[in-house]
Structure 1
Amino acid sequence: MNPGEAPIAEMRAALDKEFDVLLLPVSHPSLGPIRIVDDLFAIGRSELPFADYPRDLVTKLSRRQARIFSEHGAVYVADLDSKNGTTVNGIAVRQAPSRVRAGDELCFGGDLTYRVAIEPRPFSSASARGVQHLSVTLDPQRTDLGLEPIELAAFPFLVSKTDDLFARYKDRYPHQVNYISRRHAHIFLKSGEPWVEDLGSTNGTFVNGKRLGESAVALQNGDVIGFGGDHFVYRAVLQKSFEIEPTITQAMPSQAGLAASASAAPVASMPMEDPDKTTFVGAAHSFLDIFCVDRALQREDEVNEDSPPLTPDDPTETESRRPRRRWQLLMRELTRTFAGGDRTTIRRIGWGALGVLVVVGGISVALYMRGAAEREVKSLLAAGQYEQAADAAVSSMRRHPASDTIRSLASEALIKARVPGWLAALQAKQFDRAAALVEGMRTKSQGNPDAIALIDQLKWVGDLERFVVGRGGPDAPIRIYRDEGPIDDLLKRWNDDAKGHQRILDRIASYVPEFTEPYALAMSQLRRLQSDDTLYLAAIDRLNASIATELGRDKPDALPAVLDDYAQRYPRLAGLDTVRDDLRRYTAIFNEMTARHLTALLALIKQANFKTPPFQTQYKALSASRLPSADVIAKHDAVSAAWQSGDSQQALAGLQAMPAGAWSDVMADELSHKKALLGQYADLQKSRGSADRDDKLLAFYARLDPVEDAYYVRAVQSDVNALRDRALGRAQDLIDRAQGLWRQYRANGSIGGTQRLESGISEGFRNQARLLSGANTSVQQGMRIYTQLKAPHPEGSDQLQQDIEAETQLQRRSLQELRMVLEAGLLKSKLALIGGSDESEARQSP
């Protein structure tokens, strides 16, 4: 069964109106299949691909042989009164178009026969996102005739003297209207662009003063188009717009729908002096009417004597009218002479002619030798000796590098020789071996661009299969930040010339029939990737934009809800857990940075390892602008090492020598904190034997950080252990005090935006800030003692600490967001009252 012949393919294509028509050659298989992707396709010896066929294959084909068109999910063929006719399954197509179905045989000119196949069109991501809408305005060139502009919003559009668009002028201009034929010309869409074609009219159709021949021409913006002479002449104005949802522009066939109507869908038009006089055509004509041939009615046309005749554009006709050259006459005479043995004539012609004969003979021998090489390759192909045929073709290509025929034969031989092995490797999922086979084919095809195009397409199919299998199949999850690149690459390589690639794949399938199934599978996988590109890759782009926006606004806390929403809406999106991990790392660094906790921040920076692109980008920007520099980090590490080893003076000297910068205030606070600890430790040493020494010892111990102040923790640990019960009691007192202050703070209400925006420090702000700062300091010191003594935390104390710390950080961030509004000194004073960073008691986390 040929591709596309299955009835289900035709049914689905008819319903979706998204299908391609394939003409599979029967009479001459070497020509390759023809894929029709537009609604209208021209058959004729001056049309592609027929113009590229060998001349002996198209001698019976007329220049305007037939037209194949699609309408309302059905496919039709219309014969254009051709000399040798068109048949469907042996039945002649006459005046009316004939419907064709998958499996039918079409014959043109009695010689070229094709089998019809219908295939659903591969999904297009561009059509899923929107469609282009085109309108064409025909603006009259002559203002003295009273002609109205015509705006076309639907295609095809038939130019006919029976239509009211032109018949309305019959009383004023009877002859000029009769110069237009009943089926004069039509404007239709091809690949989304307008084309105009004369339908064999009596007096012709003109574009920019040139009469059209048998082929349609593309209509450009500003082209001047005339029908039947110099009366109905218009300038074409093209306008394009983009619609998000696809719309159907081709309505049901209607003769009445040709006239303007106020209810027609509005389309964009060029500004005119009187828009009400513009005729809007919002309904399409039917190809079924356009391509009906009725010569009897055409004979009613009035001939315009002033209309210029058609200039022959067929090379054969032009050549047939050209007088024979002398060398042609000479060759004919020589042929006759040698055929009849006329020696008298030889003497009459002379020895000069014999020299010409020798040259011609040499050329003939050369041509014969080239033909011998081609025949050898064809013979090997016919015998199934494909590898030998490929070698012979390569050898012949070296002697005739410019021969397209040799190149084509070399391509065919190579494909037939190597693709079956490549297919076996692909089906066995031996992708490295398949890739090596493709590269071997490429090496053998150096100097043959025709074969390279085929090999490139095989490589694309192999890369597509490797990717789909590697990710677990076409329905496997989309791995964020991993699959976007390969999908984008595969689609770009396809979309750079989708029609061309499909023709190449059709050609490979015609050489190697077993390629048909992998070809169909590749098209199915392509459609799935196009769908994933439209849905999931677009969603990833939006997610990246949301992450960048929220991080840029210093709102990382807004992203967990965004990630949860994407996880629910896009169930095949994998890898969001990695994004969440990066978000947690970034949020921790951001919070310590905004809280100005330098020691904790530096510890997080040293462990920072972001795995997703948006967080890598944002962290790089953060490092360049707001985080401590590498020099500051290195010098602070030296200070910490000296402090922890007990070399306090070196640590203080290092802090005093820190370079000025964004973190100078934090360094100054740390210097003050360390000096205070040193003074408190010296005072503690002097208080031995005094009554208040135990209280001083516990107060000092509560302020120590178990890591940063490890030297002093070890220095007093034995004394604290002796007072363990009293130390735990003090820790509980601090927790109780923090709880009381926190309750009072909550009862008064949190510090609000109005209080933060005050131009001074009100008593209300000051009281609430002291309550919050005191609660934070007490809970931090109490929890630190429990941690240092390795004692279990009291019930609820961890949650209390988290609540107070969260409120402190919220108030600090809210104040820092007002740094462009509040005076710098006032902002610093308010932050100092809130605590959490500048207050020495709350500098470190337990």
Structure 2
Amino acid sequence: MLSQKTLSAEAAVLADPATSTMLDAGIDIVLKPLSHAELADIRIRDNLFAVGRGEPPFVDYPAELVGDLSRRHARIFCEYGAAYIADLGSKNGTTVNGDDIRQKTRMLHDGDTVCFGRELSYRLQIGERMDAPRKTARLASLTLSPESGVPGLQPVVITQFPFLISKSDTVFSRYREQHPDQVNYLSRRHAHIFLKSGAPFIEDLGSTNGTFLNGKRLDERAMPLKNDDTLAFGGHHFVYRIGIEEAQLHADNTVTKFGKPMRPAENESQADKTTFVASADSFLNIFCVDPAPQPGEDDKQDPEQAASPERPAEGQRRPGKAGRLGTMLAEMRKALGDSPPQGAPRAGWSRSKVAAACAAALLAAGGTWLLMPGSEEQIRELMAEGNHAKAASVAAAALAGDAGNENLMALATEALMKTHVPAWLSALQSGQYDRADAVLARAESEAGPNEDARSLLRELRWVGRLERFVLGRGGLEAPIRLFADEEQIKTLLGQWDDDPGMHQRALARVASLVPEFKEPYALALSHLRKLQSDNAVYVAAIDRLKATIAEELRQDRPQALENVFNDYAEKYPRLIGVDALRQDLRRYVTMQGHARAQQLGPLVTLLAQGGFATPPFQAHAHALMNGGSLPPQALIAQYQKVMQAWKQGNARQAYVLLEQAPRGPWSDVAARQLAHKKNVAAQFSELQRARGGKDYEERLLGFYALLDSEEDTWYLRGIESDVKALTVRAGKRAEEMLTRAQALWRRYRDNGSIGGAQRLESGVSGQFRAQARLLTDANENAVKGTRLYKELKIEYPSQWDKLQADIAAEAELQRRSMMELQRVLDPGVVKAKLALLGGAER
């Protein structure tokens, strides 16, 4: 098929006028200097214009103007009748209208401002060419004839440009089984051959092992190719002699191109071994998308080439071969008495004469079927009338009866694309992604068994998913959402990377069939390039962040994550979701404190409120639960029922539920809760009996201090009125607690706070135990005293808040410092010292 890059020798090659290398189709591009008016205008006359400090006209500029330019800075090229610019990863970047397009591609429009680095800015002028077209020699074909003497290496006839040399392309990958190492000396973007002013040029694309022209390794500049030049890619294996065939053309000619003619002495079987490159690569593909590695690919360095690049071996020139169809057409021209003069170029024979010859031969062979309903001719007539939907229907019906007819299949595919792609594009560009999917679903239904069409529709469906992801969330610079976008990016790129060359050729084919798709295709490639950049930077950073969180939590060092999160928020400004990680970290530290203090009620309340919002903390909490560090889910559910009964004053039901709690690592904690609740209920009964007695107030305050503000709410309500009446006494009790806390704190500080030497002791010394007890008692009294003030709504001096905060900060510092020694000390010693320091406050 004409859309495929490599054709058998039997296939004729017809040129697409849109791939003409010169800009005489009417496009005129001028770069008008803005930053330095003394510079001359730059008029671009070729489809590819190189920007770099060694390229004309920049090479002639003063050094201070081109100091910011990279050697391979950017490329301006024309594709599908439009102009584009691609930054090639330049050091100082390229901007279009102030937007940084470093490692991106952007379509250019008249009036755009382009800046290379910091010094050179230009106003872009795009219009129609006013000068008259001129007669010029054009390249009809370029033949690469093997020179290395390697058996089985086939000639390559190139009739469409640009042509990408790539280890991933079938032109070279076909040799992988026989010569895997040699193929791996090629790069995935090794070099490309393109036309400049109608002449062929070769440019190395930064390949690992280099491109050699007549034995000399190419640098960053493109070099012209001449007849009989020797060209080598990556070493001494893929070495070719250049053969060039030209044709005299006018600017308005429609060209029919064939491969390089065979010599009469060479038999036809040799033509079957020639690779005909009949479909041009795309500059968008060459400069915008890096082909992904294929299975078995490995960029190898040729040590011999790296040490001393030598001139490739020379041999006898092997001219290209024409296909059988070319021979058949020549015979048909003879039969019609209209053969070109001997030695005249074949491209000079007009397409109309070829068509007439074909028609005459087919009609002479009884080709009246061309006029029958469902014939190829009828389908073409319907398409010429613009009735693509009818053409698609007729082609599908005809293909159903002649499934092996490749011409019918190609026509059916073309009609189907022209019928549905415009509607799909309209829905896609208006953000109606579901409607776009529905259009493709309808097209797939109509395609039936036509796998050729179905394969193109799969490519369009991928483009739809890409655009839905990129544009649906706000464009290329939209924030990247943690734990959501990275997986979608990996999926999209994974689908592309399975065979990027195949995907590029398929989409380029759609663009050739439906011109409206050309600009969206270029935009999709730019979006792809950005996703690849985001994958290399942001997705890689997210993967590292996930690994860091998992490791720090596994090592029980959650406090270290606060700095990690701050660092990520600063380094990766487009990353959103770090705040959710911070919230989960705070929740985790609180949970950890409740777990260490074995405070079952607050722990169950925290976990029952929804747990954690981010996957790393969710996964670690699940692992802790499975390992016994957290209460199992069954106990959490059971204790929720206990708390419900307890808060309703149904103590007996709470006891029964606790006695029925599942057995496991937290059974002893549940048993202590049962004892605590029985004690609270018993003291409450005694308090009711002591009402009016002389020691009632003391009992009341003692009972009040025993209660938990979260769980024991039923009993708090029962003594609420009495407690309010004893506000003065309660305030005095709170002050006593805080005074005691202050005294203990002073003793702790006078003795010297717990230092590193005490924490590093291999055992628990008496000094550590005494200091830990002072700190823990001071903290407990400070917490209870300030809580009593607050719960009774009694105003109190602000100094008590500062005291409580200072003690709490020292307690937390000591706990954190001990946790950081887990890799140094025996785990049992660390656990014992942490127990003496107490758990987190409720």
> Given the two structures, how large is their TM-score scaled by the length of structure 1?
0.61
Distance in 1 (CA, whole Å) between partners of 2:816 and 2:169 is 70
Query: Which one has a larger percent helix, Structure 1 or Structure 2?
Result: 1
Contact 2:379 2:395 in 1 (8 A): yes
Give the 3-state SS of the residue equivalent to 1:37 in structure 2. Answer: strand
Contact 1:40 1:69 in 2 (8 A): no
* Correspondence for 1:86: 245
* Correspondence for 1:418: 420
* One-letter code aligned to 1:432: D
Distance in 2 (CA, whole Å) between partners of 1:314 and 1:107 is 7
Q: CA deviation at 1:570?
A: 1.0
The 1:818/1:631 distance shift into structure 2, 3 A limit, reads: farther
Query: CA offsets per residue over residues 705-754 of structure 1, 9 Å max, x none?
Result: 23423344344444333322121012112112212212332343333454
Query: CA offsets per residue over residues 241-289 of structure 1, 9 Å max, x none?
Result: xxxxxxxxxxxxxxxxxxxxxxxxxxxxxxxxxxxxxxxxxxxxxxxxx
Distance in 1 (CA, whole Å) between partners of 2:655 and 2:830 is 28
Give the 3-state SS of the residue equivalent to 1:462 in structure 2. Answer: helix
Q: Among residues 735, 739, 746, which one is paired with 2:749 in the alignment?
A: 746
Alignment of 1:59-78 (within 5 A): 69-70=202-203, 71=218, 72-74=220-222, 76-78=224-226
* Correspondence for 1:765: 768
* Correspondence for 2:623: 621
* One-letter code aligned to 1:559: L
Distance in 2 (CA, whole Å) between partners of 1:78 and 1:545 is 55
Q: Among residues 3, 7, 10, which one is paired with 2:49 in the alignment?
A: 10
Indicate the percent of aligned positions where both proteins have the same amino acid. 40
Distance in 1 (CA, whole Å) between partners of 2:170 and 2:657 is 89
Contact 1:20 1:118 in 2 (8 A): no
Query: CA offsets per residue over residues 453-483 of structure 1, 9 Å max, x none?
Result: 2222222222222222211111222222222
Distance in 1 (CA, whole Å) between partners of 2:825 and 2:609 is 35
Contact 1:21 1:35 in 2 (8 A): no
* Correspondence for 1:369: 369
* Correspondence for 1:478: 480
Query: CA offsets per residue over residues 769-800 of structure 1, 9 Å max, x none?
Result: 22112112212321232233122454143444
Give the 3-state SS of the residue equivalent to 1:529 in structure 2. Answer: helix
Q: Among residues 282, 287, 293, which one is paired with 1:121 in the alignment?
A: 287
Contact 2:569 2:578 in 1 (8 A): yes
Task: List alignment gaps of at least 5 residues for structure 1.
Answer: 49-65, 92-103, 138-150, 161-182, 185-198, 201-212, 216-312, 321-334, 336-360, 838-843
* One-letter code aligned to 1:152: Q
Distance in 2 (CA, whole Å) between partners of 1:118 and 1:651 is 76
Q: Which moved more, 1:800-809 or 1:477-486?
A: 800-809
* Correspondence for 1:36: 163
The 1:755/1:36 distance shift into structure 2, 3 A limit, reads: same
Q: Among residues 519, 522, 543, which one is paired with 2:545 in the alignment?
A: 543
Distance in 1 (CA, whole Å) between partners of 2:698 and 2:479 is 63
* Correspondence for 2:62: none
Q: CA deviation at 1:515?
A: 2.0
Distance in 2 (CA, whole Å) between partners of 1:432 and 1:375 is 36
Mapped pair 1:578 → 2:563: no
The 1:687/1:424 distance shift into structure 2, 3 A limit, reads: closer
Q: CA deviation at 1:569?
A: 0.7
Give the 3-state SS of the residue equivalent to 1:457 in structure 2. Answer: helix
Task: List alignment gaps of at least 5 residues for structure 2.
Answer: 1-16, 24-28, 30-43, 56-70, 81-137, 142-157, 176-198, 204-217, 230-240, 263-276, 329-334, 336-360
Q: CA deviation at 1:391?
A: 2.2
Query: CA offsets per residue over residues 572-628 of structure 1, 9 Å max, x none?
Result: 112322222222322322222123221111110110243322222222222222211
Give the 3-state SS of the residue equivalent to 2:301 in structure 1. Answer: strand
Distance in 1 (CA, whole Å) between partners of 2:505 and 2:323 is 28
Alignment of 1:478-627 (within 5 A): 478-625=480-627, 626-627=629-630
Contact 1:89 1:105 in 2 (8 A): no
How many positions carry a matched residue from both structures? 606
Distance in 2 (CA, whole Å) between partners of 1:116 and 1:819 is 60
* Correspondence for 1:632: 635
Alignment of 1:29-178 (within 5 A): 36-38=163-165, 69-70=202-203, 71=218, 72-74=220-222, 76-80=224-228, 86-87=245-246, 109=260, 118-119=283-284, 121-124=287-290, 133-136=299-302, 151-153=304-306, 158-160=311-313
* Correspondence for 2:707: 704
The 1:791/1:419 distance shift into structure 2, 3 A limit, reads: same
Say which one has the larger Rg.
1
The 1:466/1:755 distance shift into structure 2, 3 A limit, reads: same
Distance in 2 (CA, whole Å) between partners of 1:34 and 1:374 is 29
Alignment of 1:169-188 (within 5 A): 183-184=314-315
Distance in 1 (CA, whole Å) between partners of 2:301 and 2:708 is 76
* One-letter code aligned to 1:122: C
* One-letter code aligned to 2:450: N
Distance in 2 (CA, whole Å) between partners of 1:715 and 1:214 is 106
The higher-RCO structure (CA 8 Å, 6+ apart) is 2
Query: CA offsets per residue over residues 491-511 of structure 1, 9 Å max, x none?
Result: 222222212222222222222
Give the 3-state SS of the residue equivalent to 2:437 in structure 1. Answer: helix
Q: CA deviation at 1:545?
A: 1.3
Q: Among residues 778, 783, 786, which one is paired with 2:786 in the alignment?
A: 783
Contact 1:86 1:106 in 2 (8 A): no
Give the 3-state SS of the residue equivalent to 1:135 in structure 2. Answer: coil
Give the 3-state SS of the residue equivalent to 1:10 in structure 2. Answer: strand
Distance in 2 (CA, whole Å) between partners of 1:629 and 1:523 is 50
| RMSD across aligned positions (CA) | 4.9
Query: CA offsets per residue over residues 30-81 of structure 1, 9 Å max, x none?
Result: x99665221799999xx99xxxxxxxxxxxxxxxxx9873353326444459
Alignment of 1:269-418 (within 5 A): 369=369, 373-418=375-420
Distance in 1 (CA, whole Å) between partners of 2:504 and 2:656 is 75
Distance in 2 (CA, whole Å) between partners of 1:316 and 1:42 is 25
Distance in 1 (CA, whole Å) between partners of 2:390 and 2:828 is 89
Distance in 2 (CA, whole Å) between partners of 1:453 and 1:377 is 21
Give the 3-state SS of the residue equivalent to 2:768 in structure 1. Answer: helix
The 1:371/1:132 distance shift into structure 2, 3 A limit, reads: farther
Distance in 1 (CA, whole Å) between partners of 2:751 and 2:242 is 100
Q: Which moved more, 1:403-412 or 1:73-82?
A: 73-82
Contact 1:17 1:73 in 2 (8 A): no
Q: CA deviation at 1:832?
A: 5.6
Contact 1:808 1:836 in 2 (8 A): no
Q: CA deviation at 1:441?
A: 1.5
Distance in 1 (CA, whole Å) between partners of 2:447 and 2:74 is 37
Mapped pair 1:731 → 2:770: no
Q: CA deviation at 1:530?
A: 1.2
Mapped pair 1:468 → 2:465: no
Contact 2:140 2:257 in 1 (8 A): no
